[in-house]
Structure formats: structure tokens, C-alpha cells
Amino acid sequence: MPFQVIPRELAFFDLFDRAAGGVLRAVVDLAILLDDLPNAERHAQRIRDLEHEGDDLTHQIIALVNTTFVTPFDRKDMHRLASCLDDVIDCVEGLADLLVLLRIAKPLPQFVQQIEVLRRATTAVGQAVRELRSLHPLEAVLTEIKRAEREGDWVYRRGVAELYSGDYEPMQVLMWKDLLHQGETALDKCEDIANTIESVLLKFA
């Protein structure tokens, strides 16, 4: 495919918007799954479909970066932003699959809290990505993402402490620790998105 100049508002930012929107929808569906565990497989399938759509969008973004002569911001930052968005939805899909495969009947309260924090983080991610096209400062929304990540750390540590309280069977400890870790990874990737957007904006300051 030859190199071409494509108006930013018609290509790159629209693709990023769609990718961030898919991430948020997947997290919302995960919260619904936790509230409706008897029908977990049905909800998990919706999340898998969103993950597949996210993969397609990531490939489109990377292909567009590689075939566009003038990009709206640094190519490395564009690759990183696309990759981090993809990583978040991959984590969410993994969580949904584990909840189904492990036949979870009752969620750990700290895990429910962690997913609510992730929902707030991905809502802020969606806003930051949507407003990135203006290349204006986004201090408040980026701070919200980082605040959510710190809160997620707090929830994760308390979840692990609860698992080690002696009230859980060894297999339960292993299962929930893995789920909490993957949720924490998703929040870390949200912070990576905030840091990438912050880097982009600093270059245009």
C-alpha cells in the first residue's frame, strides 16, 4: 500500500475512539457478568466479540501508521497507545474466560470493587482519547486515570490480604489471586495510556 496523507479526524482519532469505546463496553459487560454469574458464558461471549473487534482496530491503526506519510503525532506514541488499549481489553477477556472456566459462583468483594475501579478508569481513558484530537491539556482526566490506578493498588493489596486471612481454601486463594492480578494489570495499562497521552501533549506544549 502506498504512503498517503489522511486527514487525522477521519482516520487515526476515529479509530482510537472506537478502540477506547470497545474497552469500556467490555469492562461494563464484565461488571454485568459478575452480577449475573449463572449466565456468565453469554456475557463472556459478548466480551470475546469486543476483543476481536479491538484486535481488528489495532491492526487498522498500525497499518495506517505504517502507510501514512504524515501522522498527527509521533509514530512510537501511536503504536504504544494502540497496544495499551489492546492490552486492557485482552485482560478483560481473560478475566471473563477465567470466571467461566473456573465456574465462579460468588465473586470476591474486593474483585467486584476492583472492576468498578477499572470501569471508572476506562471511562476516563475514553474521555482522554476522545479529547486527544484537540491536543489541548487534559490534566484533570489524566489525573483521574492515575488516581484510579492507585486506588486499584489499594484494592488489590486488601484483596490479597483477605485471601490470606485463613477463611479460604487453597484453590480459592490461587484462583482469586490470579483474577486480582489480572485486574491489576488492566489498571496498570490504563495508567500507561495516561502516560502516553501525557507524553504526546507535552511534545505539543
Give 102-139 pLDDT, tens digit per residue: 999 999 999 999 999 999 999 999 999 999 988 888 99
Position 95 scores a pLDDT of 98
Give this prediction's pTM. Answer: 0.92
Interval 190-196 mean pLDDT: 98
Cell, residue 176: 482469586
Residue linked to cell 482519547 = 129
Burial of residue 1, with CB atoms counted within 10 A of its CB: 0-12 exposed, 13-18 middle, 19 or more buried: exposed
Segment among 71-75, 141-145, 159-163 with least mean pLDDT: 71-75
Of 85, 32, 47, 59, residue with least CA distance to 191: 85
Pairwise CA distance, residues 116 & 126, whole Å: 15
Question: Maximum CA pair distance of the chain?
Answer: 62
* DSSP designation for 134: T
Query: Of the given ranges (64-78, 102-116, 177-191), which has the lowest mean pLDDT?
Result: 64-78
- Work out the pLDDT band at 2, boundaries 50, 70, 90: very low
Could you tell me the fold of the domain covering 8-203?
A: Methane Monooxygenase Hydroxylase; Chain G, domain 1 (1.20.58)
Q: Give me the pLDDT at residue 148, please.
A: 98
Mean per-residue pLDDT, 79-91 = 97
